[in-house]
């Protein structure tokens, strides 16, 4: 089982760059001249810019440099120097949504000083937002907003104070007697507990769904899959914050599925149920995750069907009927299995996503409430996962 997960992760890491490059390019080769500053820029910074084709135009001031590159989607684009000492260059069209990138100045791989910073690819670095047709579902609107809380909890298993984020719905503070279901929502490989609330826009997605009456209010808990001190698995050298850094002990963090399951089940869930107004039972507890987080969801929920009733696996495999030993019990306990992929992960009935779709269909045939979703023209990337949460949330806690 561990070997299988490692292989899948390697495939995903290798496949990300390639998948992101299958977008069409314009016929003339000349970029459309409708550049706008990316919404992911730092305030007042005019670059990087994005055009209607989804190309990214970066600009970096480096008067004495010999070479400057934009490293985006697995491709290193050369920038050219202008008379003002600023280097500028344009990428191929990118998928709609969010992409990690970096700048290379004479061999130094550094964040772009113009962008905001996000945790992914096992480091804090630059990200760029390519406007999406459907971006309204995660837009900031004048609707009631929930809080996104940075929460510190003590983990007996890790023997450390760990950080998670907790989204509480807008109405949470209004009626102090009401209790809420909980979704445990995990990031992907090389990411951390900040991902869903930042580049994932989980809070905004929920605020908008709730304001539209499309989802029931529930709590979302976003933890870090990498447990300090648990480096007996394979080490991806991931995930950090000022807080967790100062208490995670020496050395790196590592992902170990057994260690994370223990932290989740024995430390985090009891902490959340003791400190928030939750409905602390199986019918009102869900788990979902993207990529590596989807694989965690798969293994942890299948082994703990008395703890979780709703399952979401985004770009992270699926549940096969072969894995279910007692189908009647499964159907009785599991109210939803949601499987999703970006369409670029499912190419011509092949690729990682193909099996997920086949498994989801087989589950449905077997009488499980199985829902399959495919994000149009996106790959193994955040736009697929934002859309997945947006489709998944309305299906939760209907009973």
Least distance from a second copy to the Cβ atom of residue 26, Å? 27
CB of 46 to a second copy, least distance (A): 11
Cβ 296 to a second copy shortest distance, Å: 19
Report the sign of the C-alpha dihedral through residues 98, 104, 110, 115, in that order.
Answer: negative
Q: Shortest Cβ distance from residue 301 to a second copy (Å)?
A: 27
Complex with a second copy: residue 239 or 313, whichever CB lies closer: 239
Choose between 203 and 293: whose C-beta lies nearer to a second copy.
203
Least distance (Å) between residue 283 CB and a second copy: 23
Closer Cβ to a second copy, 105 or 354, answer by number: 105
- Report yes or no: 206 and 215 within 8 Å, Cβ to Cβ: yes
Nearer to a second copy by Cβ, of 42 and 365: the residue is: 42
Start-to-end Cα distance in the chain: 33
Which residue number, 230 or 319, has a Cβ lying nearer to a second copy?
Answer: 230
Closer to a second copy by CB, 106 or 326: give it. 106
Residue with smaller CB distance to a second copy, 238 or 287: 238
Rounded to a whole number of angstroms, the minimum distance from the CB of residue 289 to a second copy is: 20
Distance (Å, whole) CA 147 – CA 165: 10
Q: Between vectors from CA 260 to CA 255 and to CA 263, what angle results, nearest 5°?
A: 145
Structure token pair of residue 12: 């995903």
Residue 108 CA to residue 124 CA, distance in Å, equals 15
Q: Considering the complex, what minimum distance in angstroms separates the CB of residue 12 from a second copy?
A: 21
State in angstroms the smallest separation of the CB of 124 from a second copy. 6
Looking at the Cβ atoms of 188 and 248, the one nearer to a second copy is 248
Interatomic CA distance for residues 183 and 188, integer angstroms: 16
- Distance between CA atoms of residues 4 and 1, nearest Å: 5
* Shortest separation between residue 305's beta carbon and a second copy, angstroms: 29
Residue number with CB closer to a second copy (42 or 266): 42
Please choose, from the candidates 349, 348, 340, the residue with its C-alpha nearest in 3D space to the C-alpha of residue 380: 340
Nearer to a second copy, 102 or 388 (CB): 102
Distance CA 243, CA 245 (A): 5
Instruction: Tell me how far, at minimum, the Cβ of 192 lies from a second copy, in Å.
Output: 9
């Amino acid at each position: 089982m561990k070997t299988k997960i490692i292989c899948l992760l390697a495939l995903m890491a290798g496949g990300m760059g390639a998948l992101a490059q299958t977008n069409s390019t314009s016929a003339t080769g000349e970029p459309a001249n409708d550049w706008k500053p990316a919404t992911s820029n730092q305030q007042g910074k005019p670059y990087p810019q994005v055009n209607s084709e989804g190309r990214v135009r970066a600009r970096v001031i480096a008067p004495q440099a010999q070479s400057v590159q934009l490293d985006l989607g697995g491709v290193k684009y050369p920038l050219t120097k202008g008379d003002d000492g600023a280097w500028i260059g344009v990428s191929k069209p990118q998928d709609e949504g969010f992409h990690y990138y970096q700048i290379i100045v004479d061999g130094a791989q550094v964040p772009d000083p113009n962008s905001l910073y996000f945790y992914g690819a096992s480091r804090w670095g630059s990200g760029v937002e390519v406007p999406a047709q459907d971006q309204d579902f995660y837009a900031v609107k004048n609707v009631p907003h929930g809080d996104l809380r940075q929460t510190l909890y003590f983990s007996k298993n890790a023997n450390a104070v760990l950080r998670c984020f907790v989204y509480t719905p807008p109405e949470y503070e209004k009626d102090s007697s009401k209790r809420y279901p909980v979704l445990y929502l995990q990031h992907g490989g090389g990411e951390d507990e900040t991902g869903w609330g930042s580049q994932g826009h989980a809070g905004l997605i929920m605020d908008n769904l709730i304001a539209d009456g499309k989802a029931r209010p529930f709590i979302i808990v976003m933890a870090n899959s990498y447990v300090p001190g648990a480096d007996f698995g394979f080490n991806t050298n991931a995930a950090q914050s000022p807080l967790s850094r100062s208490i995670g002990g020496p050395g790196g963090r590592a992902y170990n599925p057994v260690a994370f399951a223990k932290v989740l089940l024995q430390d985090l869930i009891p902490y959340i149920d003791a400190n928030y107004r939750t409905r602390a039972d199986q019918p009102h507890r869900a788990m979902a995750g993207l990529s590596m987080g989807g694989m965690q969801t798969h293994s942890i929920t299948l082994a703990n069907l008395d703890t979780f009733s709703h399952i979401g696996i985004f770009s992270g495999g699926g549940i096969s009927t072969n894995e279910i030993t007692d189908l009647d019990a499964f159907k009785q306990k599991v109210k939803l299995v949601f499987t999703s992929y970006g369409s670029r992960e499912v190419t011509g009935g092949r690729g990682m996503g193909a099996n997920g779709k086949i498994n989801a269909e087989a589950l449905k045939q077997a009488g499980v409430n199985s829902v399959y979703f495919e994000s149009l023209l996106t790959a193994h990337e955040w736009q697929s996962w934002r859309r997945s949460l947006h489709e998944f949330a309305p299906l939760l806690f209907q009973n």
